[in-house]
């Protein structure tokens, strides 16, 4: 029996970890850089700025891991509940479930007779798999993976946060605000390009999206830091 292969390469299998990784890295750069800029604008010394940055890296990584795990686990619980319900319905009334699949395939463009044949064949092959995929929209590629999402998000946040923190450590205190701001925007643009390439999207649009929100976040926190520093002084 000759096996056929599928030569096309798709990117949908990356969705689970790519979303969490991009979110984590983006948040790590933006939140840490904004914090450093805000503290620097308040006329804090370099050691205080670095302590604040390290605290932001550790707390942010743990927060991202916990948030991703809880939210994605909620999605996984919902998927499990829906699948359990489908299994019960298949046992209680398999004929009604076949008619349901037939209606789905007719709505997608198949002729009624062909749709019925497809529904019957897929039900014999893997009934719950057919309902999960075609009725519920649950597939192996897009199914929730809480641990994977939590690890990807926490790791990418730490890596993203380490970039502006390294700049703050290497640059003298006087030029820290401008160096952290400028280099963080470069990091964000590179992240947007990398994420767009990994997902097959437009690289300029990807770079612009993350850079715009980075500029906005750092501008706001710098303004708040300046006001706070002036008030304290």
What pLDDT, on a 0 to 100 scale, did the predictor assign at position 16? 53
Q: Does residue 1 lie in a domain region? A: no
Check if the beta carbon of residue 229 is closer than 8 Å to that of residue 42.
yes
Long-range contacts of 110-119 (CB under 8 A, 24+ apart): none
Q: Does residue 4 lie in a domain region? A: no
Positions of the chain with pLDDT lower than 70, given as ranges = 1-19, 139-144, 173, 199, 228-233
Q: Does residue 40 lie in a domain region? A: yes
Q: Does residue 9 lie in a domain region? A: no
pTM of the model: 0.69
Q: Does residue 103 lie in a domain region? A: yes
Q: Give the span between the Cα atoms of 201 and 132, in whole angstroms.
A: 28
Q: Which residues, in sequence order, are CB contacts of 209 under 8 Å at separation 6+?
A: 192
Q: Which domain holds residue 40?
A: 14-228
Q: Does residue 188 lie in a domain region? A: yes
Q: Does residue 138 lie in a domain region? A: yes
Q: Give the span between the Cα atoms of 150 and 132, in whole angstroms.
A: 25
Q: Does residue 7 lie in a domain region? A: no
Please tell me the total count of domains within the chain. 1
Interhelix angle 176-199/15-41, nearest 10 degrees:
170
Torsion of CA 189, 216, 155, 200, to 10 degrees: -40
**Helix, strand, or coil here: 143?**
coil
* pLDDT tens digits, one per residue of 10-58: 444 455 556 677 778 888 999 999 899 888 888 788 888 899 999 999 9
75: left (phi over 0), alpha (psi -120 to 50) or beta: alpha
* pLDDT tens digits, one per residue of 56-78: 999 999 998 898 888 888 888 88
């Amino acid at each position: 029996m000759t096996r056929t292969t599928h030569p096309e390469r798709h990117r949908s299998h990356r969705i689970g970890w790519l979303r969490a990784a991009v979110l984590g890295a983006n948040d790590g750069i933006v939140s840490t850089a904004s914090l450093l800029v805000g503290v620097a604008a308040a006329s804090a010394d370099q050691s205080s700025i670095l302590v604040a940055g390290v605290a932001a890296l550790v707390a942010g990584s743990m927060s991202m891991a916990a948030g991703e795990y809880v939210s994605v686990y909620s999605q996984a619980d919902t998927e499990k509940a829906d699948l359990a319900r489908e299994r019960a319905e298949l046992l209680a009334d398999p004929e009604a479930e076949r008619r349901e699949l037939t209606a789905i395939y007719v709505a997608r463009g198949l002729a009624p007779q062909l749709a019925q044949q497809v529904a019957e064949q897929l039900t014999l092959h893997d009934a719950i798999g057919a309902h999960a995929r075609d009725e519920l929209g649950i597939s192996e590629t897009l199914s929730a993976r809480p641990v994977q999402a939590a690890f990807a998000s926490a790791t990418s946040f730490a890596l993203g946060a380490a970039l502006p923190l390294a700049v703050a450590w290497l640059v003298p205190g006087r030029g820290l605000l401008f160096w952290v701001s400028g280099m963080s925007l470069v990091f964000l643009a590179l992240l947007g390009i990398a994420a767009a390439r990994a997902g097959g999207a437009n690289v300029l649009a990807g770079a612009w999206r993350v850079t715009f929100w980075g500029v906005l976040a750092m501008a706001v926190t710098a303004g708040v830091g300046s006001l706070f520093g002036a008030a304290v002084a």
